[in-house]
Amino acid sequence: MFETLTPQTPDKIIRLMQMFCDDARMGKIDLGVGVWKNAAGQTPVMAAVKDAERRLVETQDSKSYIGLAGDPAFLNAMCGLLLGPDADAGRIAAVGTPGGTGAVRQVLELVRLARPGCTVWISAPTWPNHPALIDTVGLQRRDYRYYDPATGAVDRKGMLADLGALQPGDVVLLHGCCHNPAGADLARTEWEALASVLAERGAVPFVDMAYQGFGAGLDQDAAGLRILAARLPEVLVAASCSKNFGLYRDRVGMAMALCADATARDTVQGTLAWLNRQNFAFPPDHGARVVQTILDDAALCDSWKTELEAMRLAMEANRRALADALRDATRSDRFGFLAAHQGMFSLLGLTPGQVARLRDDHGIYLVDDSRLNIAGLTEATIPVVAEAVAKVL
Ligand code: LMR
């Protein structure tokens, strides 16, 4: 039967991870996949995670199955983190998923069941797995303008003009914060304007929240989502704990739908649980329970927030240092936007040929659209990267 298969196009980020591993050169620099690294270039287990894991080892007395939606205490704690203390629990349907990707997939499957003919609008540019997942699920998609490389900022006018073509029931996929790959986020007024367009057109926002706490702070990063939740009857959310809890390989995520009323909520909750059953049955529990243990314990939560804030500030410092080093190396301000962006990523605005030269000639790995992982930089590598960028320009 396998002779019928044709090779799949590999995801460019995953392919780059492999190329980096296969490169035998000393001094190679990985600015590809979105993984946070400390000043020594390592990705440590967060202290609160270690403590919560120790506690779980001591207290957990069974690993028997839980419900299809996962641990309700995890879901409650995550809803609080995302929506704040005033969230209307009566409107929320939520299930645990294997990571943020699992959450995006389950939400898209929910959309396909509810509105098979709708269009899912994605930002140009976006994370490459967004269009891939939409295509795999079999929904239609369209791009909306989002980022203007000429200004290094959000193309507010272009975005709102494109979204003027939304049809009722269309879905608009948004990056909750720390846009991947652009690094340019919507301001509060832009979220408000977006909420108005969505309300006028009868479209549904789908917020992918993969970096909460990496942008301006935990609550600040959820401000856009909370504006939408307050203004619109239906909101879809995919949340990931890979980055802000450093639980990458443990696969911790949550798919959530805010519904118009309690009756719709019950149907959506049942449908999401059914979708979990069809795809993997029970969501992974260990990492989710670690997150819940942290969020529900004041001391662990303080420790986690302190470490997360230090990670965020380190990324901000890397941004400023790289912008300065590039200004000196290129004698221009063309990379000044880096300091104004948020989160792990920005696009340097290089051509694929220049990105290839960085890799081949200098051992510096960026995604081919010139996305670089700011958190992959260290004090030692920043001047090396700046000099190399100046050389390939
Ligand atoms: C990234 O964009 O690098 C991360 O979100 C990892 C991934 O799964 O692509």
State if residue 33 touches ligand 1 by the CB under 6 angstroms criterion. yes
**Residue identifier of the C-alpha nearest atom 2 of ligand 1:** 34
Question: Which numbered atom of ligand 1 lies nearest the CA of 373?
Answer: 3
Q: Average pLDDT, stretch 305-324?
A: 98
Those residues with Cβ within 8 angstroms of residue 206's Cβ, 6 or more apart along the chain or in another chain: 107, 111, 120, 171, 172, 173, 174, 235, 236, 237, 238
List the end-to-end C-alpha distance of the chain, in Å, as a whole number: 49
**Residue identifier of the C-alpha nearest atom 4 of ligand 1:** 34
State if residue 303 touches ligand 1 by the CB under 6 angstroms criterion. no
- Asked whether the predicted pLDDT for residue 310 surpasses 90, the reply is yes
User: 10 or 328, which is more confident?
Assistant: 328
Can you give the pLDDT at residue 86? 83
- Asked whether the predicted pLDDT for residue 100 surpasses 90, the reply is yes
What distance in angstroms lies between residue 11's CA and the mean position of ligand 1's atoms? 10
Question: Which numbered atom of ligand 1 lies nearest the CA of 13?
Answer: 9
- C-alpha dihedral sign at 222, 226, 228, 229: positive
- What's the chain's Rg over C-alpha atoms? 21
- The ipTM is 0.96
What distance in angstroms lies between residue 8's CA and the mean position of ligand 1's atoms? 18
Can you give the pLDDT at residue 13? 94
Domains delineated in the chain: 10-45+301-392 (3.90.1150.10), 65-296 (3.40.640.10)
State if residue 372 touches ligand 1 by the CB under 6 angstroms criterion. no
Average pLDDT, the chain: 97
**Residue identifier of the C-alpha nearest atom 9 of ligand 1:** 13
Question: Which residues are marked as active site?
Answer: 127, 208, 210, 243
Question: Which numbered atom of ligand 1 lies nearest the CA of 101?
Answer: 8
- Asked whether the predicted pLDDT for residue 101 surpasses 90, the reply is yes
**Substitution candidate for ligand 1 out of 14, 15, 17, 33 with most atoms within 8 A of CB:** 33
Token reading at 273: 């649980």
pLDDT in tens, 139-187: 999 999 999 999 999 999 999 999 999 999 999 999 999 999 999 999 9
Separation of alpha carbons 149 and 128, rounded Å: 18
Can you give the pLDDT at residue 208? 98
pLDDT in tens, 335-374: 999 999 999 999 999 999 999 999 999 999 999 999 999 9
Can you give the pLDDT at residue 348? 98
Separation of alpha carbons 300 and 314, rounded Å: 21
Can you give the pLDDT at residue 155? 98
**Substitution candidate for ligand 1 out of 12, 19, 20, 129 with most atoms within 8 A of CB:** 129
- Asked whether the predicted pLDDT for residue 87 surpasses 90, the reply is no
With beta carbons less than 8 A apart as the criterion, state whether 358 and 391 touch.
Answer: no
State if residue 127 touches ligand 1 by the CB under 6 angstroms criterion. yes
Can you give the pLDDT at residue 293? 98
pLDDT in tens, 225-249: 999 999 999 999 999 999 999 999 9
